[in-house]
Amino acid sequence: MIPAEATDAVPARRQITIRDLLTHTAGISYGTDARVTEQYRDKALGSAAGWGWYTADKAEPKCTTMDRLGTLPFVAQPGEAFVYGYNTDTLGCVVERVSGMSLDAFFRARITGPLGMQDTRLFLPEAKRAGASGAVSSAGGAMRLRGPVREQAPFTPRPIRLPECLRQANRLRVDQ
């Protein structure tokens, strides 16, 4: 970790937690802070990783990238500041290591498959690309719709029943 007032790394005062990663308070950046930019670039992270910087569009395995990230200083102590960076990519690596599956396979087996979402994936197979609806891309610095866009039926929201624990925990007012 490199404190704001210094240029030399100091040890983290505590371990990074899952909560830190979920809330972007782990101190992990995208290497945009001037104190770490060159070091991130030397490891092909941050701006050297190309537009998007995150790992979703890379051929390198997620955990290989995160192992490289782990050799670099972060820009804040864990839990002390919001720093937008490789937090969710790191969580993806945690899921892969704990489950023993790729993140895409884990989502299909444990989330989208049981929900019947057979065409929801992190990476769309070549055979399914022709029939895909448009996707949003930020390539080139501007948000734009990519790919074919199919006519879709209008979306009609329907009421859902939240589990009791969610209604009480979040004090939501839900019409039943």
pLDDT tens, position by position, 52-96: 556 766 778 889 989 999 999 999 999 999 999 999 999 999 999
The secondary structure of residue 136, as a DSSP letter, is E
Nearest to 92 by CA among 56, 136, 60, 125: 56
Is the overall model pTM greater than 0.75, yes or no? no
pLDDT tens, position by position, 92-109: 999 999 999 999 899 999
Residues 6+ apart with CB under 8 A from 98: none
Residue tagged 């404190």 (tokens): 3
Domain boundaries, the chain: 18-100
Residue 144 phi, psi (nearest 5): -150, 155
